[in-house]
Amino acid sequence: MNDAEKKELIELLNKNWMTHDGMWFYHCLQEMGIEKANKLNKLAISALAPIEIKRLINFLGIETGSIKTFDSFQRFFESAKEMFIPDFMNTMMNFPEENLMRWEFKPYNCFAYKGMVAADVIEHYECGVIYRIECWINSLGIKYSVKPKISKCLMLTDGNCTGDILFDF
């Protein structure tokens, strides 16, 4: 399989996974309302994150517990991003300086934002996208802070979603 085929496969698998995730959220929303759907979504994300991280670490051949520096985290995250944050998600995540990771979604183009607008619940949706990244970092046992703190969708006010994760290595 060449690199282009690998990228297409990753895109396909992630689109299917995110569609499943969206359908799961939508049916929770229909059955229980937005408050419970948000709560269950975050519970599912936080329960899945340590499993995802363990599997990814094993797949990449990284020694468990060895991600203890910013450089080792950056190398790990670049590999994770390649597999779990494909182009259709319309986000850029980079490391502009030591101990800093920045995210930025294309305006009004986050896949979760578009789904919640379509479901007509964007005003009450609690972002699960950056929360998933936070849960990955928690699973690695790394201290960090997020600016801005996120609960509701940041795109709701002006179409922009950008922020920083500051690491304390």
What is the reported pLDDT for 64? 87
What is the CATH number assigned to the segment(s) 3-167? 3.30.1380
Domain spans of the chain?
Answer: 3-167
**Average of pLDDT values for 19-26?**
94
pLDDT per position as a tens digit, 38-92: 999 999 999 999 999 999 999 999 998 999 999 999 999 999 999 999 888 999 9
Q: Are 46 and 135 in contact (CB under 8 A)?
A: yes
| Local confidence band at 151 (pLDDT 50, 70, 90 cut-offs) | confident
Q: For residue 41, how many other CB atoms are within 10 A of its CB?
A: 22
d(CA 167, CA 30): 38
d(CA 17, CA 119): 18
Residue positions counted in the chain = 169
